[in-house]
Amino acid sequence: MDFRLSSEQQEAVSHIHRFAREVLSASASERIASSHFDRNKWTQASETGLAGLPLPEEWGGSGFGALDTMLAVEALGQGCVDMGLVFSLCAHMFACAVPLWRHGSRELHERYLSGMAKGSLIAANAITEPGSGSDVFAMRSSARRDGEHYILNGEKCFVTNAPVADVFLLYAKTDAQQSYFGISAFLIPRGTHGLTVTTGERKSGLCTSPWGSVHLDDCRVPVWARVGDEGAGATIFHDSMIWERGCLFAAYVGEMERVLQQCVTHARERRQFGRPIGHNQAVSDRLVDFKLRLETSRLLLYRAGWLYDQGLPHEEAIAQSKLWVSECAVQCGLDAVQIFGGAGVCSETGIDRLLLDALPARIFSGTNEIQREFIARHMGLR
Protein backbone atom coordinates (compact mmCIF):
# COMPACT_ATOMS: atom_id res chain seq x y z
CA MET A 1 0.00 0.00 0.00
CA ASP A 2 1.82 3.07 -1.30
CA PHE A 3 0.65 6.43 0.04
CA ARG A 4 3.15 8.51 -1.94
CA LEU A 5 1.89 10.96 -4.53
CA SER A 6 3.31 10.72 -8.03
CA SER A 7 5.54 13.50 -9.32
CA GLU A 8 2.66 14.69 -11.53
CA GLN A 9 0.31 14.83 -8.56
CA GLN A 10 2.87 16.67 -6.44
CA GLU A 11 3.44 19.21 -9.20
CA ALA A 12 -0.30 19.82 -9.66
CA VAL A 13 -0.90 20.17 -5.93
CA SER A 14 2.02 22.57 -5.53
CA HIS A 15 0.89 24.71 -8.46
CA ILE A 16 -2.72 24.98 -7.26
CA HIS A 17 -1.71 25.72 -3.67
CA ARG A 18 0.69 28.46 -4.74
CA PHE A 19 -1.85 30.00 -7.14
CA ALA A 20 -4.61 29.91 -4.52
CA ARG A 21 -2.37 31.49 -1.87
CA GLU A 22 -0.85 34.20 -4.06
CA VAL A 23 -3.75 35.06 -6.39
CA LEU A 24 -7.10 33.93 -5.01
CA SER A 25 -6.34 34.94 -1.41
CA ALA A 26 -5.39 38.48 -2.44
CA SER A 27 -7.89 40.94 -0.90
CA ALA A 28 -9.83 38.00 0.59
CA SER A 29 -10.38 39.75 3.91
CA GLU A 30 -12.12 42.66 2.18
CA ARG A 31 -14.35 40.32 0.16
CA ILE A 32 -15.27 38.33 3.26
CA ALA A 33 -16.03 41.48 5.27
CA SER A 34 -18.45 42.67 2.59
CA SER A 35 -19.74 39.20 1.57
CA HIS A 36 -18.67 40.03 -1.98
CA PHE A 37 -18.49 37.47 -4.78
CA ASP A 38 -15.61 38.51 -7.03
CA ARG A 39 -16.29 37.50 -10.65
CA ASN A 40 -12.70 38.41 -11.55
CA LYS A 41 -11.34 35.89 -9.02
CA TRP A 42 -13.76 33.30 -10.42
CA THR A 43 -12.38 33.97 -13.90
CA GLN A 44 -8.79 33.68 -12.72
CA ALA A 45 -9.57 30.38 -11.00
CA SER A 46 -11.39 29.10 -14.07
CA GLU A 47 -8.52 30.01 -16.38
CA THR A 48 -6.31 27.81 -14.20
CA GLY A 49 -8.71 24.90 -14.70
CA LEU A 50 -10.42 25.02 -11.31
CA ALA A 51 -13.98 25.09 -12.70
CA GLY A 52 -13.73 21.80 -14.59
CA LEU A 53 -11.28 19.50 -12.81
CA PRO A 54 -13.11 16.18 -13.40
CA LEU A 55 -14.59 17.05 -16.79
CA PRO A 56 -13.18 15.43 -19.95
CA GLU A 57 -10.43 17.28 -21.79
CA GLU A 58 -12.63 17.09 -24.90
CA TRP A 59 -14.88 19.71 -23.31
CA GLY A 60 -12.15 21.84 -21.76
CA GLY A 61 -11.77 20.06 -18.43
CA SER A 62 -8.71 18.43 -16.85
CA GLY A 63 -9.98 14.85 -17.01
CA PHE A 64 -9.11 14.16 -13.36
CA GLY A 65 -10.39 11.09 -11.54
CA ALA A 66 -11.95 11.38 -8.10
CA LEU A 67 -8.70 11.11 -6.11
CA ASP A 68 -6.81 13.62 -8.26
CA THR A 69 -9.79 15.98 -8.03
CA MET A 70 -9.71 15.64 -4.24
CA LEU A 71 -6.00 16.45 -4.17
CA ALA A 72 -6.59 19.56 -6.29
CA VAL A 73 -9.52 20.77 -4.18
CA GLU A 74 -7.54 20.14 -0.97
CA ALA A 75 -4.71 22.30 -2.31
CA LEU A 76 -7.25 24.95 -3.28
CA GLY A 77 -8.76 24.95 0.22
CA GLN A 78 -5.34 25.11 1.83
CA GLY A 79 -4.16 28.04 -0.24
CA CYS A 80 -7.34 30.09 -0.64
CA VAL A 81 -8.57 31.95 2.44
CA ASP A 82 -11.82 32.79 0.64
CA MET A 83 -13.69 29.51 1.22
CA GLY A 84 -16.87 31.00 -0.23
CA LEU A 85 -15.18 31.19 -3.63
CA VAL A 86 -13.94 27.62 -3.23
CA PHE A 87 -17.45 26.48 -2.32
CA SER A 88 -19.00 28.21 -5.32
CA LEU A 89 -16.48 26.59 -7.66
CA CYS A 90 -17.13 23.15 -6.17
CA ALA A 91 -20.92 23.51 -6.24
CA HIS A 92 -20.66 24.53 -9.89
CA MET A 93 -18.41 21.57 -10.75
CA PHE A 94 -19.86 18.70 -8.79
CA ALA A 95 -23.58 19.50 -8.55
CA CYS A 96 -23.98 20.91 -12.07
CA ALA A 97 -21.15 20.27 -14.53
CA VAL A 98 -20.56 16.64 -13.52
CA PRO A 99 -24.21 15.55 -13.87
CA LEU A 100 -24.46 17.38 -17.20
CA TRP A 101 -21.34 15.58 -18.43
CA ARG A 102 -22.42 12.16 -17.15
CA HIS A 103 -26.12 12.30 -18.07
CA GLY A 104 -26.72 15.12 -20.55
CA SER A 105 -27.31 14.73 -24.28
CA ARG A 106 -24.75 15.59 -26.93
CA GLU A 107 -26.78 18.70 -27.74
CA LEU A 108 -26.61 19.90 -24.14
CA HIS A 109 -22.88 19.16 -24.06
CA GLU A 110 -22.30 21.23 -27.17
CA ARG A 111 -24.39 24.11 -25.89
CA TYR A 112 -23.15 24.31 -22.30
CA LEU A 113 -20.45 21.92 -21.16
CA SER A 114 -17.40 23.71 -22.57
CA GLY A 115 -18.54 27.00 -21.06
CA MET A 116 -19.08 25.35 -17.70
CA ALA A 117 -15.69 23.59 -17.83
CA LYS A 118 -13.98 26.89 -18.61
CA GLY A 119 -16.04 28.83 -16.06
CA SER A 120 -17.38 31.31 -18.61
CA LEU A 121 -20.81 29.97 -17.66
CA ILE A 122 -21.61 29.79 -13.95
CA ALA A 123 -24.04 27.03 -12.99
CA ALA A 124 -26.35 26.62 -10.00
CA ASN A 125 -28.06 23.49 -8.71
CA ALA A 126 -31.70 23.99 -7.70
CA ILE A 127 -33.33 21.11 -5.84
CA THR A 128 -34.05 22.20 -2.24
CA GLU A 129 -37.49 23.64 -1.50
CA PRO A 130 -38.88 25.45 1.54
CA GLY A 131 -41.08 22.51 2.47
CA SER A 132 -38.84 19.58 1.59
CA GLY A 133 -35.23 19.98 2.76
CA SER A 134 -33.71 16.53 3.30
CA ASP A 135 -36.97 14.92 2.14
CA VAL A 136 -36.07 15.57 -1.49
CA PHE A 137 -38.84 13.43 -2.92
CA ALA A 138 -41.45 15.62 -1.23
CA MET A 139 -40.68 18.44 -3.65
CA ARG A 140 -43.70 20.29 -5.03
CA SER A 141 -42.15 21.86 -8.13
CA SER A 142 -43.79 20.37 -11.20
CA ALA A 143 -42.92 19.92 -14.86
CA ARG A 144 -45.86 19.17 -17.17
CA ARG A 145 -45.21 17.87 -20.69
CA ASP A 146 -46.84 20.01 -23.37
CA GLY A 147 -45.88 18.73 -26.81
CA GLU A 148 -42.19 19.44 -27.36
CA HIS A 149 -41.95 21.52 -24.20
CA TYR A 150 -42.31 21.25 -20.44
CA ILE A 151 -44.09 23.85 -18.35
CA LEU A 152 -42.49 24.26 -14.92
CA ASN A 153 -43.92 25.77 -11.76
CA GLY A 154 -42.57 25.93 -8.22
CA GLU A 155 -39.95 27.45 -5.96
CA LYS A 156 -36.40 26.48 -5.00
CA CYS A 157 -34.40 27.90 -2.10
CA PHE A 158 -30.81 27.91 -0.78
CA VAL A 159 -29.54 27.78 -4.37
CA THR A 160 -25.77 28.34 -4.32
CA ASN A 161 -24.59 30.72 -7.07
CA ALA A 162 -28.18 31.68 -7.97
CA PRO A 163 -27.64 35.47 -8.07
CA VAL A 164 -24.68 35.12 -10.49
CA ALA A 165 -25.61 31.94 -12.36
CA ASP A 166 -25.93 31.81 -16.13
CA VAL A 167 -27.65 28.43 -16.13
CA PHE A 168 -29.59 26.32 -13.62
CA LEU A 169 -29.73 22.56 -13.21
CA LEU A 170 -33.24 22.30 -11.78
CA TYR A 171 -35.24 19.31 -10.55
CA ALA A 172 -39.03 19.01 -10.75
CA LYS A 173 -41.76 16.38 -10.49
CA THR A 174 -42.87 15.03 -13.88
CA ASP A 175 -45.04 12.38 -12.22
CA ALA A 176 -46.74 13.42 -9.00
CA GLN A 177 -47.78 9.81 -8.31
CA GLN A 178 -44.18 8.60 -8.19
CA SER A 179 -41.49 9.28 -5.62
CA TYR A 180 -37.95 8.33 -6.70
CA PHE A 181 -38.93 7.81 -10.33
CA GLY A 182 -41.16 10.87 -10.53
CA ILE A 183 -38.40 13.50 -10.65
CA SER A 184 -36.70 14.85 -13.77
CA ALA A 185 -33.78 17.25 -14.28
CA PHE A 186 -33.67 20.27 -16.58
CA LEU A 187 -30.95 22.68 -17.66
CA ILE A 188 -32.46 26.14 -17.88
CA PRO A 189 -30.60 29.30 -18.92
CA ARG A 190 -31.02 32.49 -16.97
CA GLY A 191 -33.41 34.82 -18.73
CA THR A 192 -35.84 32.06 -19.68
CA HIS A 193 -39.37 33.47 -19.50
CA GLY A 194 -41.05 32.47 -16.26
CA LEU A 195 -37.82 31.98 -14.30
CA THR A 196 -36.89 34.64 -11.76
CA VAL A 197 -34.16 34.76 -9.13
CA THR A 198 -34.14 36.50 -5.76
CA THR A 199 -30.99 37.00 -3.70
CA GLY A 200 -30.76 35.25 -0.33
CA GLU A 201 -29.93 36.72 3.05
CA ARG A 202 -26.37 37.42 4.11
CA LYS A 203 -24.58 34.36 5.53
CA SER A 204 -22.11 34.08 8.41
CA GLY A 205 -20.17 31.20 6.82
CA LEU A 206 -19.06 30.80 3.19
CA CYS A 207 -20.25 34.38 2.96
CA THR A 208 -18.70 35.24 -0.42
CA SER A 209 -20.62 32.40 -2.06
CA PRO A 210 -23.91 33.97 -3.17
CA TRP A 211 -27.19 32.12 -2.81
CA GLY A 212 -30.83 32.78 -3.49
CA SER A 213 -34.19 31.40 -4.53
CA VAL A 214 -35.50 30.41 -7.95
CA HIS A 215 -39.16 30.95 -8.82
CA LEU A 216 -40.90 29.19 -11.70
CA ASP A 217 -44.13 30.61 -13.07
CA ASP A 218 -45.25 28.70 -16.18
CA CYS A 219 -41.61 28.51 -17.21
CA ARG A 220 -41.58 26.89 -20.65
CA VAL A 221 -38.52 24.86 -21.66
CA PRO A 222 -37.92 22.57 -24.66
CA VAL A 223 -37.79 18.80 -24.23
CA TRP A 224 -34.12 18.78 -25.25
CA ALA A 225 -33.36 20.82 -22.10
CA ARG A 226 -34.15 17.75 -20.01
CA VAL A 227 -31.02 16.08 -18.61
CA GLY A 228 -31.31 12.32 -18.97
CA ASP A 229 -34.57 10.43 -19.30
CA GLU A 230 -37.85 11.54 -17.82
CA GLY A 231 -37.98 10.21 -14.27
CA ALA A 232 -34.19 9.88 -13.98
CA GLY A 233 -33.71 13.05 -11.93
CA ALA A 234 -33.30 11.34 -8.57
CA THR A 235 -30.66 9.00 -9.99
CA ILE A 236 -28.83 11.94 -11.56
CA PHE A 237 -28.91 13.92 -8.32
CA HIS A 238 -27.70 10.94 -6.30
CA ASP A 239 -24.79 10.45 -8.70
CA SER A 240 -23.83 14.13 -8.46
CA MET A 241 -23.89 13.97 -4.66
CA ILE A 242 -21.36 11.12 -4.75
CA TRP A 243 -18.96 13.59 -6.37
CA GLU A 244 -19.94 16.53 -4.18
CA ARG A 245 -19.84 14.63 -0.87
CA GLY A 246 -16.53 13.12 -1.86
CA CYS A 247 -14.61 15.92 -3.54
CA LEU A 248 -15.97 19.17 -2.12
CA PHE A 249 -15.04 18.22 1.43
CA ALA A 250 -11.40 17.97 0.42
CA ALA A 251 -11.44 21.77 0.65
CA TYR A 252 -12.06 21.50 4.40
CA VAL A 253 -9.11 19.15 4.77
CA GLY A 254 -7.01 21.82 3.09
CA GLU A 255 -8.43 24.54 5.31
CA MET A 256 -7.79 22.47 8.44
CA GLU A 257 -4.16 22.03 7.34
CA ARG A 258 -3.75 25.77 6.88
CA VAL A 259 -5.33 26.67 10.22
CA LEU A 260 -3.37 23.97 12.07
CA GLN A 261 -0.12 25.53 10.89
CA GLN A 262 -1.34 28.94 12.07
CA CYS A 263 -2.19 27.47 15.47
CA VAL A 264 1.18 25.72 15.83
CA THR A 265 3.03 28.93 14.95
CA HIS A 266 0.93 30.88 17.43
CA ALA A 267 1.51 28.28 20.18
CA ARG A 268 5.27 28.55 19.65
CA GLU A 269 5.36 32.35 19.61
CA ARG A 270 2.68 33.37 22.11
CA ARG A 271 4.18 33.51 25.62
CA GLN A 272 2.30 33.40 28.91
CA PHE A 273 3.80 32.98 32.39
CA GLY A 274 7.29 33.15 30.90
CA ARG A 275 7.05 30.39 28.29
CA PRO A 276 5.35 29.60 24.96
CA ILE A 277 1.75 28.47 25.43
CA GLY A 278 2.55 25.36 23.38
CA HIS A 279 4.54 24.08 26.38
CA ASN A 280 1.28 23.81 28.31
CA GLN A 281 -0.19 20.34 28.01
CA ALA A 282 -3.72 21.73 27.73
CA VAL A 283 -2.66 23.52 24.53
CA SER A 284 -0.40 20.82 23.08
CA ASP A 285 -3.05 18.13 23.66
CA ARG A 286 -5.59 20.25 21.83
CA LEU A 287 -3.20 20.62 18.88
CA VAL A 288 -2.41 16.90 18.84
CA ASP A 289 -6.14 16.15 18.65
CA PHE A 290 -6.42 18.73 15.86
CA LYS A 291 -3.64 16.90 13.99
CA LEU A 292 -5.32 13.52 14.48
CA ARG A 293 -8.63 14.80 13.13
CA LEU A 294 -6.86 16.25 10.11
CA GLU A 295 -4.95 13.07 9.29
CA THR A 296 -7.91 10.72 9.79
CA SER A 297 -10.03 13.04 7.63
CA ARG A 298 -7.41 12.89 4.90
CA LEU A 299 -7.16 9.08 5.05
CA LEU A 300 -10.94 8.62 4.85
CA LEU A 301 -11.11 11.12 2.00
CA TYR A 302 -8.36 9.52 -0.09
CA ARG A 303 -9.70 6.03 0.54
CA ALA A 304 -13.14 7.06 -0.74
CA GLY A 305 -11.62 8.61 -3.87
CA TRP A 306 -9.44 5.57 -4.52
CA LEU A 307 -12.39 3.19 -4.18
CA TYR A 308 -14.41 5.28 -6.64
CA ASP A 309 -11.59 5.36 -9.19
CA GLN A 310 -11.11 1.58 -8.89
CA GLY A 311 -14.79 0.93 -9.55
CA LEU A 312 -15.17 -0.67 -6.11
CA PRO A 313 -18.09 -0.11 -3.69
CA HIS A 314 -17.62 3.45 -2.52
CA GLU A 315 -20.87 5.04 -1.36
CA GLU A 316 -20.52 4.12 2.31
CA ALA A 317 -16.89 5.30 2.31
CA ILE A 318 -17.94 8.64 0.82
CA ALA A 319 -20.68 9.05 3.43
CA GLN A 320 -18.17 8.26 6.19
CA SER A 321 -15.71 10.77 4.76
CA LYS A 322 -18.30 13.55 4.44
CA LEU A 323 -19.57 12.96 7.96
CA TRP A 324 -16.13 12.79 9.57
CA VAL A 325 -14.52 15.68 7.70
CA SER A 326 -17.38 18.07 8.42
CA GLU A 327 -17.58 17.19 12.12
CA CYS A 328 -13.79 17.42 12.47
CA ALA A 329 -13.69 20.79 10.74
CA VAL A 330 -16.20 22.22 13.21
CA GLN A 331 -14.29 20.89 16.24
CA CYS A 332 -10.97 22.09 14.84
CA GLY A 333 -12.53 25.49 14.29
CA LEU A 334 -13.57 25.59 17.94
CA ASP A 335 -10.08 24.55 19.02
CA ALA A 336 -8.43 27.21 16.85
CA VAL A 337 -10.54 29.94 18.45
CA GLN A 338 -9.73 28.62 21.92
CA ILE A 339 -5.98 28.54 21.24
CA PHE A 340 -5.98 32.12 19.96
CA GLY A 341 -8.11 33.32 22.87
CA GLY A 342 -9.53 36.80 22.45
CA ALA A 343 -7.85 37.20 19.06
CA GLY A 344 -9.70 34.09 17.90
CA VAL A 345 -13.02 35.91 17.91
CA CYS A 346 -11.64 38.99 16.20
CA SER A 347 -12.72 38.90 12.56
CA GLU A 348 -9.56 40.71 11.45
CA THR A 349 -7.38 37.72 12.38
CA GLY A 350 -9.59 35.37 10.37
CA ILE A 351 -9.10 32.48 12.80
CA ASP A 352 -12.85 32.13 13.28
CA ARG A 353 -13.37 31.47 9.56
CA LEU A 354 -12.79 27.72 9.81
CA LEU A 355 -15.56 27.40 12.37
CA LEU A 356 -17.98 29.68 10.51
CA ASP A 357 -17.27 28.05 7.15
CA ALA A 358 -17.49 24.52 8.57
CA LEU A 359 -20.83 24.86 10.34
CA PRO A 360 -22.85 24.65 7.09
CA ALA A 361 -20.83 21.57 6.04
CA ARG A 362 -22.80 19.45 8.49
CA ILE A 363 -25.98 20.42 6.60
CA PHE A 364 -25.31 20.70 2.86
CA SER A 365 -24.75 17.72 0.53
CA GLY A 366 -27.03 15.71 2.78
CA THR A 367 -27.13 16.43 6.51
CA ASN A 368 -24.87 14.44 8.79
CA GLU A 369 -27.96 12.82 10.26
CA ILE A 370 -28.78 11.52 6.77
CA GLN A 371 -25.20 10.25 6.38
CA ARG A 372 -25.49 8.35 9.67
CA GLU A 373 -28.74 6.76 8.48
CA PHE A 374 -27.04 5.74 5.25
CA ILE A 375 -24.06 4.20 7.06
CA ALA A 376 -26.39 2.41 9.49
CA ARG A 377 -28.21 0.82 6.52
CA HIS A 378 -24.91 -0.44 5.18
CA MET A 379 -24.24 -1.94 8.60
CA GLY A 380 -27.53 -3.83 8.43
CA LEU A 381 -29.14 -1.75 11.16
CA ARG A 382 -32.04 -0.45 9.06
d(CA 358, CA 300): 18
Q: Which of 137, 121, 120, 117 is nearest to 129 (CA)?
A: 137
CA dist 70 → 74, 154, 247, 354 (Å): 6, 35, 5, 19
Q: How far is CA 47 from CA 42, 43, 51, 69, 118, in A?
A: 9, 6, 8, 16, 7
Q: How far apart are the C-alpha atoms of 382 and 380, rounded to whole Å?
A: 6
- Whether the CB-CB separation of 174 and 152 falls below 8 Å is answered with no
Q: Which of 129, 244, 257, 315 is catalytic?
A: 244
**Measured distance CA(219)–CA(205) in Å, rounded:** 32
- Please indicate whether residue 244 is annotated as part of the active site: yes
User: Who contacts 378 (Cβ-Cβ below 8 Å, separation ≥6)?
Assistant: 315, 316, 319
Closest Cα partner for 127 from 115, 138, 113, 117? 138
Name the residues annotated as catalytic.
244
